[in-house]
Structure 1
Amino acid sequence: MKQIIVIGAGLGGLSAAVTLAARGYDVTVIEKNQHVGGKLMPIITDGHRFDFGPNTITMPDVFRSVIRNSGANPDDYFELIKLDQHTVNHYTDGSSFTFSADRAKLEVEVRRLTGDQLKHNQMRAYLDEAEKLFDIANKRFFTQMDTKLDPGLWADMVKVHPLQSLHALHKKYFKDPRIIQALDRYATYIGSSPYVTPGTFALIAHLELNEGVYFAKGGNWNIAKGFAKRASELGVTFRLGHEVTKIDVLNGKAHDVVVDDQEVISCDAVLLNGELLTQYPRLVDAKDRPSFPVPTRDTVEPSISAFVMMVGLSKRLNLAHHNVYFSDDYEREFKALFQEERYADEPTIYISNSSATDPSMGEAGDNLFILVNAPAHLTEIDADTYEHLIRRRLRMFGVDWEEEEVLYHKRVTPQDLTRDFYAYYGALYGTSANSKKGAFFRPAPRSTDVSNIWFAGGSTHPGGGSPMVTLSGQFAARSMLEDIPLTI
């Protein structure tokens, strides 16, 4: 039986492990942390549960199909709940409006916001455009392992606004800056700036506003937990709390991995589900990967990072599941993050309060996951001072609590992401999509230099975000199945 080593138990590694084990391969998953799911990790306290991320789930069938294709019923492993009205967008002028996957409700809400100034069918036309972009991307990017080999790619590229920024595309459809700003925020889902990243990524609006936003009952981590449960049923061995410290390569093939600098495990293939930009150079000697030099921020731009606060309260604030509190000058905010490599003075603030949907997530009170975008350059900042700035801004929007009402508090910075997940300059999504290469031509799921090493994760094709990472694991597994016979 062929022995496959999966390095890292993120969603990509887990989805690949399920797929390979279901086909009869001997799979071992080695994860340096004590939990599965990678950045999708649970934080459980007395009275509160938090998902570190991601908090927004789209493309539910991507996750369900991993279980379904292994011969089991996904409903036995996790339950995905569709949110009716999912995100409330707030502005400093006191206005707000709510995103919904119901087109009629969304149009009514936008007309209320704009004083009925929205042109007839304007929102509908935009959502039709977003759907068209998704359909092209799904055909050319989300179902193929290597877009460079697709002869039809270039014909379709011109249809997806590769030379127009997301912000410019939104200005074409809308005049109200509040609507544009809310839609521009989709660039942050791939760690990028709406003023630079291609308009192609308006497809994210299709996922949220046409198809809908979901939440896994009991916490989104239950998706990873469900994958791991199914993998274990199929015979996958999990070694949590152990770290692969080297991949030994001979004649262009990986023949074993070294665990914790001492144990050597032979293998027929390796799937690297760690951060490609930091872990491939760390684990494989430079002489064995001539096509992959160590990247730097001058050669590969990192995506944005995050400054996170998790606050468990003893009271309810009447917040929605997803809440966004926008800055007045969005362009200045992204200039600070990417060009000036510093924290924004007036950051946009996101709050997930999943207890609004699932009370078990906050039995003692609201479970606030508070995130602001941070520069992915390991910029030093006084974390206490910046947290006070965030609190002051939230008070402007009427969101406040007393210190004695805080039952739990935890902070996560880009430095923590670098330490715990080997994140590339602390980036959440590896490479940004601010360039055409970063947006459309991420590394393929197979090593160019080492024939039996495959990759999965946000830095590889098809990109960042939980559905894409899950798909990357499927691409790697399919390639392995085609290339590695189950028996000699």
Structure 2
Amino acid sequence: MKHIAIIGAGLGGLSAAVTLAARGYDVTVIEKNEHVGGKLMPIITDGHRFDFGPNTITMPDVFRSVIRNSGANPDDYFELIKLESHTVNHFSDGSTFTFDSDREKMEAEVRRLTGNKADKNQLASYLDEAEKLFEIANNRFFTRMDSKIDTGLWADMMKVHPLKSLHALHKKYFKDPRIIQALDRYATYIGSSPYVTPGTFALISHLELNDGVYFAKGGNWTIAKGFAKRASELGVEFRLGHEVTKIEVTNGKAHAVVIDHEEVMSCDAVLLNGELLTQYPRLVDAMDRPSFPAPTRDTIEPSVSAFVIMVGLNKRLNLAHHNVYFSDDYEAEFRALFEEERYADEPTIYISNSAHTDPSMGEAGDNLFILVNAPAHMTDIDAETYEHLIRRRLRTFGVDWEDSDVLFHRRVTPLDLTRDFYAYYGALYGTSANSKKGAFFRPSARSEDVSNIWFAGGSTHPGGGSPMVTLSGQFAARSMLEDIPLTI
């Protein structure tokens, strides 16, 4: 029986583990942290639960299919709840714009916000366009092992607005700046700027506003927990709290991984489900990966990072599940993040309050997951001072609480992401999509230099976000199934 070593228990590694084990392979997952899920990790306190990782789930069948294809019922492992009116966008003039996956409700909301028919009439055209973008991407990009160009793919790429920015595409359809700003925020889902990233990523609008937004009952981490449970049932061994410190390569082939600098574990293949941009250079000697020199900011631009505050309250603030409080100058905010490499003076603030949907997430009161975009670099700012700035901005929107209302408080900065997850300059999504290369040509699922090392995660094809990361694990697993016979 062939033995596969999977480094990292993120969604990509877990989905690959389930798939490989279901086909009879011997699989060991080594994870340096004590939890599965990678950045999708739970923070559990007395009275509150938080999802640190993705708070928004789309493409639910990507997750369900991992379990279903292994011969089990996904409903036995996690429960995905569809949120109808899912995100309330707030603006400094006091207006709000609520996102809904019901087309008629969205049209009514646009009409209420703008007071005219022009933007309302354009909504249907825009959402139809977003659906077409998704269909092309799904058929030509999300189902491929890599992003290598062929004639047909090149022709399809030219249909998805690769030369027009997301912001420019939104301006084509809408006049109201609030609608444009709310839709522009989708660029941050891939860690990029709407003023630079290709209009292709309007496809995210399709996922949220046509297909819908989901939440896993008990917390989105239950998806990772469900994957791990199914993997264990299939015989996968988990080594949590242990770190792979080297991949042994001889003559272009990996034959072992070194765990905690001392234990040598033989294997027939390796799946690296970690931050590719930092971990591949760390684990494989430079002479064994000539096609992959260690990247720098000058060679590969990192995506945005995050400044996070988790606050468990003893009361309810009447917030929706997803809430966004926009800055007045969005362009200046992204200029600060990417060009000036500093924290924005007036950041847009996102708050997840999953207790609104699932009271078990906040039995004692609201569980506020507060996030603002942060620059990806190795330095940091005075976290307490920046938190005070965020609190002051929230008060201008009427969101406030007393110190005596706080039962739990924790901050996470880019430096924490670098330390805990080896994030590339603290970036959330590895590479930004601010260039055509970063947007469309991420590394494929297989090493060019070492024949039996595969990759999964947000830095590899097809990109960042929990569904894409899960798909990357599937791509790697399918390639392994084709190339590595189960028995000699």
Q: Please tell me the TM-score bracket, short chain as reference.
A: over 0.9
Partner of 2:19: 19
Cα distance in 2 for partners of 1:74, 1:333 equals 41
User: Structure 1 residues 69 and 218, CA, compared in 2 at 3 Å: closer, same or farther?
Assistant: same
Cα distance in 2 for partners of 1:84, 1:378 equals 39
Partner of 1:122: 122
Question: Are 2:88 and 2:98, in contact at CA under 8 Å, matched by a contact in 1?
Answer: yes
Cα distance in 1 for partners of 2:135, 2:105 equals 24
Partner of 2:271: 271
Cα distance in 2 for partners of 1:412, 1:399 equals 21
Cα distance in 2 for partners of 1:55, 1:395 equals 23
Task: Give the aligned residue type for 2:126.
Answer: Y
Cα distance in 1 for partners of 2:471, 2:212 equals 19
Instruction: Report SS of the residue matched to 2:431.
Output: coil
Give runs of aligned pairs for residues 354-369 of structure 1, distance below 5 A: 354-369=354-369
Partner of 1:168: 168
Q: Please state how far the C-alpha of 1:120 moved relative to its aligned partner.
A: 5.4
Task: Give the aligned residue type for 2:322.
Answer: H
Cα distance in 2 for partners of 1:300, 1:161 equals 22
Partner of 1:401: 401
Give runs of aligned pairs for residues 27-42 of structure 1, distance below 5 A: 27-42=27-42
Q: Please state how far the C-alpha of 1:151 moved relative to its aligned partner.
A: 3.5
Deviation readout 1:361-383 (Å, 9 max, x if unpaired): 00000000000000001232000
Give runs of aligned pairs for residues 51-62 of structure 1, distance below 5 A: 51-62=51-62
Question: Are 1:110 and 1:118, in contact at CA under 8 Å, matched by a contact in 2?
Answer: no
Partner of 2:381: 381
Question: Are 2:6 and 2:270, in contact at CA under 8 Å, matched by a contact in 1?
Answer: yes
Instruction: Report SS of the residue matched to 2:81.
Output: strand
Instruction: Report SS of the residue matched to 2:34.
Output: coil
Deviation readout 1:257-310 (Å, 9 max, x if unpaired): 000000000000000001000000000000000000000001000000000000
Instruction: Report SS of the residue matched to 2:320.
Output: coil
Partner of 1:10: 10
Q: Please state how far the C-alpha of 1:53 moved relative to its aligned partner.
A: 1.3
Cα distance in 2 for partners of 1:355, 1:152 equals 46
Asked whether 1:341 is paired with 2:368, we answer no
Cα distance in 1 for partners of 2:16, 2:210 equals 29
User: Structure 1 residues 120 and 195, CA, compared in 2 at 3 Å: closer, same or farther?
Assistant: closer
Runs (4+) of structure 1 exceeding 2 A deviation are 116-121
Give runs of aligned pairs for residues 328-477 of structure 1, distance below 5 A: 328-477=328-477
Q: Please state how far the C-alpha of 1:461 moved relative to its aligned partner.
A: 0.0
Instruction: Report SS of the residue matched to 1:152.
Output: helix
Task: Give the aligned residue type for 1:467.
Answer: P
Q: Please state how far the C-alpha of 1:121 moved relative to its aligned partner.
A: 2.5
Question: Are 2:119 and 2:173, in contact at CA under 8 Å, matched by a contact in 1?
Answer: no
Question: Are 2:271 and 2:476, in contact at CA under 8 Å, matched by a contact in 1?
Answer: yes
Q: Please state how far the C-alpha of 1:350 moved relative to its aligned partner.
A: 0.0
Cα distance in 1 for partners of 2:255, 2:203 equals 41
Deviation readout 1:53-82 (Å, 9 max, x if unpaired): 100000000000000000000000000000
Cα distance in 2 for partners of 1:281, 1:59 equals 32
Question: Are 1:47 and 1:362, in contact at CA under 8 Å, matched by a contact in 2?
Answer: yes
Asked whether 1:226 is paired with 2:226, we answer yes
Q: Please state how far the C-alpha of 1:149 moved relative to its aligned partner.
A: 5.0
Cα distance in 2 for partners of 1:24, 1:151 equals 37
Question: Are 2:119 and 2:176, in contact at CA under 8 Å, matched by a contact in 1?
Answer: no
Task: Give the aligned residue type for 2:99.
Answer: F
Question: Are 1:349 and 1:370, in contact at CA under 8 Å, matched by a contact in 2?
Answer: yes
Partner of 1:287: 287
| TM value normalised by structure 1 | 0.99
Cα distance in 1 for partners of 2:269, 2:483 equals 10
Give runs of aligned pairs for residues 202-213 of structure 1, distance below 5 A: 202-213=202-213
Task: Give the aligned residue type for 2:216.
Answer: A
Cα distance in 1 for partners of 2:368, 2:421 equals 23
Task: Give the aligned residue type for 1:189.
Answer: Y
Cα distance in 1 for partners of 2:223, 2:379 equals 33
Give runs of aligned pairs for residues 132-211 of structure 1, distance below 5 A: 132-211=132-211
Cα distance in 2 for partners of 1:145, 1:50 equals 33
Instruction: Report SS of the residue matched to 2:17.
Output: helix
Partner of 2:217: 217
Task: Give the aligned residue type for 2:481.
Answer: L
User: Structure 1 residues 302 and 120, CA, compared in 2 at 3 Å: closer, same or farther?
Assistant: closer
Deviation readout 1:443-480 (Å, 9 max, x if unpaired): 00000000000000000000000000000000000000
Q: Please state how far the C-alpha of 1:147 moved relative to its aligned partner.
A: 2.4
Q: Please state how far the C-alpha of 1:137 moved relative to its aligned partner.
A: 0.3
Cα distance in 1 for partners of 2:310, 2:469 equals 24
Q: Please state how far the C-alpha of 1:8 moved relative to its aligned partner.
A: 0.1
Partner of 2:77: 77
Partner of 2:104: 104
Question: Are 2:314 and 2:364, in contact at CA under 8 Å, matched by a contact in 1?
Answer: yes
Cα distance in 1 for partners of 2:156, 2:469 equals 23
* Structure 1 residue runs without a partner (length 5+): none
| TM value normalised by structure 2 | 0.99
Q: Please state how far the C-alpha of 1:152 moved relative to its aligned partner.
A: 1.1
Asked whether 1:483 is paired with 2:483, we answer yes
Instruction: Report SS of the residue matched to 1:148.
Output: coil
Instruction: Report SS of the residue matched to 2:118.
Output: coil
Q: Please state how far the C-alpha of 1:117 moved relative to its aligned partner.
A: 4.1
Asked whether 1:322 is paired with 2:329, we answer no
Q: Please state how far the C-alpha of 1:146 moved relative to its aligned partner.
A: 1.4
Task: Give the aligned residue type for 1:233.
Answer: E
* Structure 2 residue runs without a partner (length 5+): none
Cα distance in 2 for partners of 1:120, 1:235 equals 53
Asked whether 1:238 is paired with 2:260, we answer no
Deviation readout 1:213-249 (Å, 9 max, x if unpaired): 0000000000000000000000000000000000010
Deviation readout 1:103-155 (Å, 9 max, x if unpaired): 00001001100012434531000000000000000011111101215431101
Deviation readout 1:159-188 (Å, 9 max, x if unpaired): 000000000000000010000000000000
State how many pairs are aligned. Answer: 488
